[in-house]
A and B are shown apart, each in its own frame.
Chain A
Amino acid sequence: MLLKHLRRLEAESIEIMREVAAEFKRPVMLYSIGKDSSVLLHIAIKAFYPAKLPFPLLHVDTTWKFREMISFRDATAKRLGVELIVHVNEEGIARGINPIDSGSALHTQVMKTDALKQALELYGFDAALGGARRDEEKSRAKERIMSLRSAGHVWDPRNQRPELWSLFNTRIRQGESMRVFAMSNWTELDVWEYIMLEKIPVVPLYFAKQRPTVRRNGATIMVDDRRLPLNCDETPQMRMIRFRTLGCYPLSGAIESDATTIEDVVAEMQTASVSERQGRLIDTDEAASMEKKKREGYF
């Protein structure tokens, strides 16, 4: 039996997902393969049981995800029998955009933000469910559960609809869409406790293991494939590492850890002294960078 506060969070997320299914014509669930997506998917299946998911999953693939993420993604879709759409910004590929030569900002803009907009327009999705949490980052803390995006996918923080009780205004015009954050009120600790108690499979990269790494600018980067150029004085070293957040591998900083099991991870969480986003190299440019990205259409 789930703990009371987790049961309440789960029920709240289920209620939001059912609203989306009932009110929108063509919803989609954004699936990023990370721990939050794993929880989101787990809850969605509960929300619509015994029916199948009334929407497909969409993964925006930058082609620079960890290999283990991709195999986990495909295995998960197969195991659960859900419809998975994978979208890649082919234009970005053709232009040779990558996180190493193009820099993290341009890579993220083209391969994540632009790619997401492309996919939403291509399939005509009018609502996109995501697993972002308000505790992740300062500008997320102000986000509504249902957040209106204009026809250009622009988020206007000054023109947000007031959101009272659990009464959602789901009305949109042609071309507008809704981003729906069904796990807004979860914290990182809630997510891990829930994963533990519900025995939800997550990508093994969240658990510590000896992995080949290099150190750059104070961050530990895993050498996941041969695309990561090594300086002549760099030799990958095996380190006992794990990840708190997962993204494109050259942009994801690892932490050294001995947490090999979910119980270890929860214990580590309870004594953690740095935030999970610390490992995200794309956020560090400046304090308000997340808000800028969101205005431009980043999830």
Chain B
Amino acid sequence: MTSIAISKPVHPRARDQLRFITCGSVDDGKSTLIGRLLHDSKMIYQDQLAAVKRDSIRHGSADIDFALLVDGLEAEREQGITIDVAYRFFTTPRRSFMVADTPGHEQYTRNMATGASNAQLAIILIDARKGVLVQTRRHSFICSLLGIRHVVLAVNKIDLVAYSKVAFDRLVADYLAFAAGLGFSSIVPIPISARHGDNVVDRSAHTKWYHGPCLMEHLESIDIQSDTASQAFRFPVQWVNRPDPDFRGYAGSVASGRISAGDDVVVAASGRTTRIKRIVTQDGDLVDAEAGDAVTITLEDQIDIGRGDILSRPTERPSVADQFAAYLIWMDSEPLAPGRNYILRIGSQTVAGSVTAIRYRIDVNTCEHLAAETLSLNEIAFCNVAIALPAAFDPYDVNRKTGSFIVIDRFTNRTVGAGMIAFPLRRATNVSWQAPSVGRSERAALKHQKPCVVWFTGLSGAGKSTIANLVDQKLLAMSRHAMLLDGDDLRNGLNADLGFSKAERVENIRRAGQVAKLMLDSGLIVICSFISPYRSERDMVRSLIGKDEFVEVFVDTPIEECARRDPKGLYSKAKAGEIKNVTGIDASYEAPTRPEIHLRTMEQAPEQAAEVVVDAVMARALLCDERR
């Protein structure tokens, strides 16, 4: 029981807040450092300290183990490592601090990114005995990627290298050489001992050679004045406030910049312009609002605005596009599947989207660019992303609020990725009024498949239609949306005006190719069965469709066998001279040189052949099965 003497009433002091993260490898002493900061800034109460003393003894430690103050969960107490992000708070007369304690363990990079996403400064710990490690590089890179511009390089356990200036200088030189390309605007190296308190809150007597600030002094004084208020105005609409027919307000927090009543604004996605009427708060209307203010805005004109819209000034608009390039950190044990449909949250906008291409993966230890087909947990890549509807955004390095997004798996609902937008692709320069452009991948995503064109070529009677029909049936049985385009069917309708001359055969294939492309764009797996005798026309279709989505299937049957089967009686008619231009008789057939699939019908029954096509197409990952 404590009775507390009261001094004179104290008025709350104006302070600002610094949010920082600590990162380092296992056993670098992060938790000890935070415990030390809390203890030395008198933020640890007697009862908490007593509990830690008890626990320290129980854990076999003679001194107070400051790490026990900050390691919260049972599991990590047992293992002795921090397994999650913990947030700690302390206050000095000059500043409030919020510390994200992030794990050093390699597989928990996702938690580090989480901590870094809201931090203005990073303390990167290095064990003075171990130097710059792989994890140090990884953590520095992630801090840089997430937009942290201020770094403290805390060279910890300096007592264990006998407070050596030489060791300190060598470490700092190593680090600076590595970090030169990371775009930090300040890197302040400080020799510390978290355990003994050297240069943490008070200057150490053991490091007379060090003339810089101690850690707390630096944290209290560093200028982190963010300039978000001087940036372009962005107001993401969070919630429409409509208590009665007379009031329609748009609630949200100003992401950046500043706005005043009477200023012109534009709705990014629709391009509609209007003017700010009122900036409403319960404490009274404001004349202006700036970055960080949570307000409700009313507009002069009745225009259609909803959650997810972004208001900006007409002269400083964000990008509006349905494709962009972005850095992506993968955070789930199930790897990224390019082309797979995910949910993206970009500000208050929620849209369907997918990674259309991984440009390169980044080795976070060397910053090397590597080719990649997929991304695993904790991997980082530069990607192209397509979304179902155009969204408004800014590059992340310009605006952290409007340039960031998270990726959600639509089946598990887990947050599987975090992204930072670099730039728009296919820039929507003039905001359009037309229906938003929905692409092939979005339509296909609706069908849970990746569309492609399977193009059967071969002589008449080779077995194309028979096998194509079987493939169609098999895909249907697998709940795939496919469509069969058959040469004869087309010739009865769309191509009824065409004969069998060379020019007309070319036109026949051109039209077939265009129809196949339309169907492909609608998200279908298109099965085409055409003699298509000329290589150049097949190649034309291939380039029209795109080589990644074009599967050429050569149905290889000797002409003698085709003539023997003669299902349509063509060969006997040709033999009798009744018809001309029959491929293989008096018109040439140019066999594919490198078809994706080569079927030899003399050796394979149609059923087997169809299996080969379905399997081969699946194996090429052209059909992306999401229903695992």
Contact = CB atoms under 8 A, between A and B. Distances in A.
Most chain A beta-carbon contacts within 10 A, residue among B3, B6, B45, B98: B6
Nearest to B409: A171
A25 interface: no
A164 interface: yes
Interface residues on A, range: 35 or more
A270 to B, nearest CB: 6
A45 B1 contact: no
B418 A164 contact: yes
A18 B238 contact: yes
Interface stretch (B241-249, B489-497, B502-510): B241-249
Interface in A250-284: 255-259, 261, 263-264, 266-268, 270-275, 278
A196 B294 contact: no
Interface residues of B, number: 80
Interface centre among B4, B406, B408, by most chain A C-beta atoms within 10 angstroms, is: B4
B307 interface: yes
B45 A187 contact: no
Interface stretch (B109-117, B123-131, B473-481, B603-611): B109-117
Interface string A210-252: 0000000011100000000000000000000000000000000
Contacts of A200: none
Given A15-B253, A274-B47, A288 B74 contact: yes
Interface in A139-195: 139-142, 157-158, 160-169, 171-173, 184-185, 187, 189-190, 193
A165 B400 contact: yes
Contacts of B170: none
Interface string A114-155: 000000000000000000001101111110000000000000
Given A11-B294, A142-B84, A255-B4, A266 B12 contact: yes
Contacts of A275: 45, 47-48
A287 interface: yes
B238 A22 contact: yes
A94 interface: no
B164 interface: no
B253 A187 contact: no
A197 B280 contact: no
From B46, B85, B96, name the one whose CB has the most chain A CB atoms within 10 angstroms: B96
B167 to A, nearest CB: 34
Contacts of A219: 1
Contacts of B513: none
The 3 closest A-B pairs by CB, nearest first: A263-B9, A138-B72, A51-B243
23 contacts: A3-B12, A3-B13, A4-B16, A5-B16, A134-B87, A135-B88, A140-B72, A162-B331, A167-B405, A171-B413, A187-B91, A189-B91, A190-B96, A256-B3, A258-B6, A266-B9, A267-B9, A268-B4, A272-B4, A274-B45, A278-B45, A291-B73, A291-B74
Interface of A: 3-8, 10-11, 14-15, 18-19, 21-22, 45-52, 134-135, 137-142, 157-158, 160-169, 171-173, 184-185, 187, 189-190, 193, 196-197, 218-220, 255-259, 261, 263-264, 266-268, 270-275, 278, 287-288, 291
Given A14-B294, A287-B51, 17 more contacts: A7-B292, A8-B17, A22-B239, A49-B282, A135-B88, A141-B88, A161-B415, A162-B110, A164-B114, A169-B413, A185-B98, A187-B96, A220-B1, A268-B4, A272-B4, A273-B46, A287-B55
